């Protein structure tokens, strides 16, 4: 596949990088290069005047203060981001990055933080009915629609495994915002719906840290394929990745 090239822009890696999110870039780069795909990884940080164009844009999660700094930078580039979304570029958004692409975040003090209004989702601080943060291992059974749209190889697994740690309660507010799947273990978007993340056009938003992609190579490959505009890429053995993925499933007695 040496005729293919892939450019990945890791947005705000200095601020949004908790819970191993950097490993997602490592996984995308490795899984591309081992197939002979030429990969360039660039970074956009808070002091940069422009967001460099890429095939895949990745944003991780971070602390509230870091998210506010990022948002002040990101909002200045909303038109560029919207254009990239509309022409089909791939966006992978983890936790805080996922929230920032929504309509707003309402914090515990009642402050309304306006979002990019790209995803029709709303996030609020937990109310009194939420007894604790959404934290711990998460296992999601992917929906048929998600599998079909992203062409995920379910011969590897029908599940996505990860780790979540968030207080924010996210609701999908439009039928255009489709969940990644059903939560088997953990919480997902909020305490009540048993749904995790969402996808819209070529955006994937999720609360899965861990990092997400090394333990879910079938999802990583789907993202690479979508960014390249091809339906299939060369199969990899994935022995270690499978072991890591199945360890979580076995821990909760879930069979692939």
- Percent residues over pLDDT 70 in the chain: 99
- Stretch 111-123: mean pLDDT, rounded? 92
Residue 196 lies in a domain: yes
pLDDT at 128: 86
Write down the catalytic residue from 10, 209, 218, 245: 209
**Rounded Cα–Cα distance for residues 22 and 60 (Å):** 8
**Rounded Cα–Cα distance for residues 199 and 202 (Å):** 7
**Rounded Cα–Cα distance for residues 41 and 230 (Å):** 20
| Tokens encoding 5 | 């090239």
Q: C-alpha 16: how far from its chain's center?
A: 13
**Rounded Cα–Cα distance for residues 20 and 256 (Å):** 25
| Tokens encoding 216 | 């879910």
Q: What does pTM read for this prediction? A: 0.96
Domain CATH number, residue 96: 3.40.50.880
235 pLDDT higher than 90: yes
Residue 118 lies in a domain: yes
Give residues with Cβ within 8 angstroms of 50, minimum separation 6.
77, 80
pLDDT at 3: 87
Q: What domain range is 142 assigned to?
A: 5-251
pLDDT at 1: 67
Q: Which of 37-51, 111-125, 195-209 is predicted least confidently?
A: 111-125
Residue 256 lies in a domain: no
209 labelled catalytic: yes
2 pLDDT higher than 90: no
Q: What is the rounded average pLDDT for all residues in the chain?
A: 94
Residue 133 lies in a domain: yes
pLDDT at 163: 96
Burial of residue 246, with CB atoms counted within 10 A of its CB: 0-12 exposed, 13-18 middle, 19 or more buried: middle
| Tokens encoding 171 | 């609701």
The domain total for the chain is 1
- Stretch 2-31: mean pLDDT, rounded? 93
122 pLDDT higher than 80: yes
Residue 201 lies in a domain: yes
Residue 166 lies in a domain: yes
pLDDT at 63: 79
pLDDT at 32: 97
Tens-place pLDDT, residues 165-202: 999 999 999 999 999 999 999 999 999 999 999 999 99
Residue 141 lies in a domain: yes
Write down the catalytic residue from 95, 134, 198, 208: 95
43 labelled catalytic: no
């Amino acid at each position: 596949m040496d005729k293919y090239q892939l450019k990945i822009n890791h947005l705000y890696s200095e601020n949004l990088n908790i819970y191993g999110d950097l490993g997602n870039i490592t996984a995308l780069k490795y899984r591309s290069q081992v197939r002979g795909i030429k990969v360039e990884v660039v970074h956009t940080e808070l002091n940069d005047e422009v967001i460099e164009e890429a095939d895949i844009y990745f944003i991780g999660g971070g602390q509230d203060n870091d998210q506010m700094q990022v948002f002040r930078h990101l909002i200045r580039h909303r038109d560029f981001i919207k254009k990239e979304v509309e022409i089909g570029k791939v966006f992978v958004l983890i936790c805080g990055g996922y929230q920032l692409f929504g309509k707003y975040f309402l914090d515990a003090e009642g402050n309304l933080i306006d979002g990019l209004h790209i995803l029709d989702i709303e996030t609020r601080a937990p109310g009194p009915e939420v007894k604790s943060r959404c934290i711990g291992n998460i296992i999601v059974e992917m929906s048929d629609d998600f599998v079909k749209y992203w062409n995920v190889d379910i011969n590897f697994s029908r599940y996505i495994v990860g780790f979540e740690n968030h207080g924010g309660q996210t609701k999908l507010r439009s039928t255009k915002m489709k969940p990644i799947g059903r939560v088997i273990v953990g919480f997902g978007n909020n305490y009540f719906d048993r749904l995790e993340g969402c996808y819209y056009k070529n955006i994937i938003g999720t609360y899965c840290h861990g990092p997400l992609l090394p333990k879910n190579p079938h999802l990583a490959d789907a993202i690479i394929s979508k960014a390249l505009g091809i339906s299939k890429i060369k199969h990899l053995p994935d022995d270690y990745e499978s072991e890591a993925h199945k360890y979580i499933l076995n821990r909760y007695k879930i069979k692939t």
